[in-house]
Amino acid sequence: MDPNSYSVEEVLNQLGNERLIHSITQVDLAKAKIGEDLIFNGFTLRDGKKSKRISTYFVCTDCHNTTREFDDASSELAEDRLHYAKENGLPFLPGSTLWGIYNRTSFYNDDYVEKYGDLVINARDSLANAVQLCSKYCSSGRYIDDWEMEAIMHYFKKNELHLSDLDIPDKDKNALMDGRLSQTQKENLSKAITNSYRQAYSATFMETMDRAERPYGDGGNAENGKLIYKKACMFCHENKRVTYLHLDDGKLSGLFLWRNRKKYTDQSIYQIVRHGTYSKVGRKQYMPHFTKEKMSDDQLNDLVAYIKQIAKR
């Protein structure tokens, strides 16, 4: 059997690692298809009827990709993510990809406690609880039912990591075919595998840059900024897809953002990228913020450089 086809979970279990809390032995493809419907559409057909929407305002794919986002599955650098998005035609979103989430062991990490408080306590080490937090609060929706959770988990299982997804040397893969590994060899191989992908994504919240420190696009790469604008900003804002504000790559949109660049309000690109907005009565749609890992300050400056360019057409 080709070791590349081995699931990461299966291999780690064989090497002596503890089973995942949400471990599923065998994926149920019918349930996985229902889970896919829920993630992409927010509802599915059940007994011939349309199920209740998880959220009136968002679906999972508004904030999360469902395919890999990095050439190197162990990376979380914003620059690497943008490069991969460019090469593979992906949007540049504020949430981590759902690809490989089945293999992660920690969620809502680091500074997310600042936004969600005690809600993250039960979500940090539980994929199911993390899904519930996202469904209820991040999507301005509701808690999902047991059958929906089961379906989503089977979708995640269907898209779990395999050794072929990781940068593992062939000698280590071939060693798995040998059932005579010593305990030390097992531990070393286990470490090599877990170091080859993200078991958790960091989340560093950034404060709005002080007005005196803002470069306003000086030295920025406008071509890079154009990519970010189209793959991040316009993904949600073009034609008001999931928001009240329409943005395009025309002069009026550029002028709106450029004229507000010095402010500390939601109209300022410096403010909105780092703080986003919050769901509230009468405006359940909101904008998630970008952490340092999802958009670096250099990338933000590239974005402003492009905004300046279209504003001055």
Q: What is the 3-state secondary structure (H, E, C) of 145-174?
A: CHHHHHHHHHHHHHCCCEHHHCCCCHHHHH
Report which of 39, 67, 26, 30 is spatially closest to residue 131, judged by C-alpha positions.
39
Q: Which helix (H) or strand (E) holds 45?
A: strand 45-46
Cα–Cα distance, 260 to 78 (Å, whole number): 25
What pLDDT shows up at residue 177?
80
Q: Cβ(300)–Cβ(206) under 8 Å? A: no
Question: What pLDDT score was predicted for residue 280?
Answer: 85
Non-local (6+) Cβ contacts of 238 within 8 A are: 246, 247, 248
Residue-level pLDDT at 311: 98
Q: What are 137's two structure tokens?
A: 């609060």
What burial letters (b/e) apply to 47-63, b meaning 16+ CB within 10 Å?
eeeebeebbebbbbbbb
Which tokens belong to 25?
A: 């032995």
Q: What integer pLDDT is reported at residue 172 of this predicted model?
A: 86
Residues 171-179: contacts with CB within 8 Å, 24+ apart? 173/3, 173/4, 174/3, 176/3, 176/6, 176/11, 176/14, 177/3
Task: Note the pLDDT of residue 3.
Answer: 83
The residue length of the chain stands at 313
Q: Cβ(231)–Cβ(85) under 8 Å?
A: yes
The pLDDT score that the predictor gives to residue 201 is 99
How much is the pTM? 0.95
Beta pairing, strands 45-46 & 49-50: antiparallel
Tokens representing 288 are: 């998630």
Using only the alpha carbons of the chain, give its radius of gyration.
21
In the chain, the domains with their CATH numbers are 3-163 (no CATH), 211-311 (1.10.760.10)
Mean pLDDT per block of 10 residues along the chain (313 residues) reads: 90 96 98 99 96 98 99 98 99 99 98 96 98 98 99 99 95 82 93 97 98 98 98 98 95 98 98 95 91 99 99 89
pLDDT of residue 299: 99
pLDDT of residue 192: 94
72: left (phi over 0), alpha (psi -120 to 50) or beta: beta
